[in-house]
Amino acid sequence: MEAVFARSEHGGHKVLQVSQGFEVFWPQGVKTYPSARRTIMALVNRDPVPDPSGYDPGLTFDRYFRKGRFCRWEYPAEDTIRLFGVDSRLVVGTPTTSVQDVPLVVHVPIGIPDHRWVEVRKIFYAGFARTALNKGYDPEDVLQELHKALLVRNQGKCPWNPAKSTFAYYVHMVCRGTMSNYHRRYSRLSRHEQFGVRNVEGESVDVSMSDLAVVQPQQLEAELRDVRGNLLNLVLVRGLQAKQNLENLEKSFHLLSEGCSQKEISVRLGVSPNRVSEAVRLIRSVAQGWRDGG
């Protein structure tokens, strides 16, 4: 009977299948288990007599020992002697050389095939969906970013190559990169965005709980007009002290509040840019002091 060995993280013990079940060659001695499930539980828990309530990985015999379709390695059918032996049929110039004797080179297709995209979704939800939820992201949005990244790689320089890595490892690698890029992008936005408004006590609250939800637009417009009127009075007082043209100063104030540039104000009022610059500088100085409570 062929002997197999436990995984290195579980001790690498020799396992032999017998008629009564499975024999595990522990350092303390050989112990027989009636089923593959009990054998794997003992190996995973690193205990010859595992607790019935111990960890059960739920793996089959072939999956744990990587047999059959779970085998990671493909061993050549030729032995070493035949592999490096000289075949006279392949020697150039011999009469026996023919096209049929030349071995064919099979090109393995690269990239993720269409029928394996369902596996991509399963791998993502098994390993990364909880991380996305903990960070406050919608897993479906992150999954779409993962699909886009894999499609770009399919057409780019690093598509999945079965000869270099397994499918699950490749998808995990791209998932980690996609999650990192997604978090970097939206954490940058969250640092510069503010959700909600501040109340009169300076605390950040939701818009539905603030005064904006109950104050009518007409009331806000009236308060804005009062604020602009008070500011304009301060500007005119300061302009009177600075001996500036009050009419141009008032018009400059209104045009500046509408978003006009100094050049546009100069054209509309028909005054020199220097006069407009003096007026704007005075308006901004008064507004700065008024905002700071001076």
* Confidence bin at 104 (pLDDT 50/70/90): low
What is the model's pLDDT at position 106? 53
More confident residue, 182 or 103: 182
Quick check: 251 pLDDT over 80? yes
**For 179-213, how does the pLDDT look when each residue is reduced to its tens digit (9 = 90+)?**
988 888 888 776 666 666 666 666 766 666 666 55
More confident residue, 63 or 203: 63
Order of strands across the sheet that contains 3-5: 3-5, 14-18, 21-26, 29-33
Quick check: 39 pLDDT over 70? yes
Query: Rounded mean pLDDT of 82-111?
Result: 56
**For 14-34, how does the pLDDT look when each residue is reduced to its tens digit (9 = 90+)?**
998 888 889 999 988 898 998
Give the C-alpha separation, 44 to 152, whole Å: 39
Can you spell out the DSSP letters for 101-148?
GSPPPPPPP-S--GGGHHHHHHHHHHHTHHHHHHTT--HHHHHHHHHH
Instruction: Report the candidate in 23, 54, 51 with the shortest Cα–Cα distance to residue 36.
Output: 23
What is the model's pLDDT at position 103? 57
Report angle CA 136, 138, 142 to the nearest 5 degrees. Answer: 110
φ/ψ of 4, rounded to 5, equals: -125, 165
What is the model's pLDDT at position 196? 63
**For 133-144, how does the pLDDT look when each residue is reduced to its tens digit (9 = 90+)?**
988 889 999 999
* Confidence bin at 123 (pLDDT 50/70/90): very high
What is the model's pLDDT at position 125? 92
Q: Extract long-range pairs of 151-155: CB within 8 Å, 24+ residues apart.
A: 154/111, 154/112
Give the C-alpha separation, 203 to 206, whole Å: 10
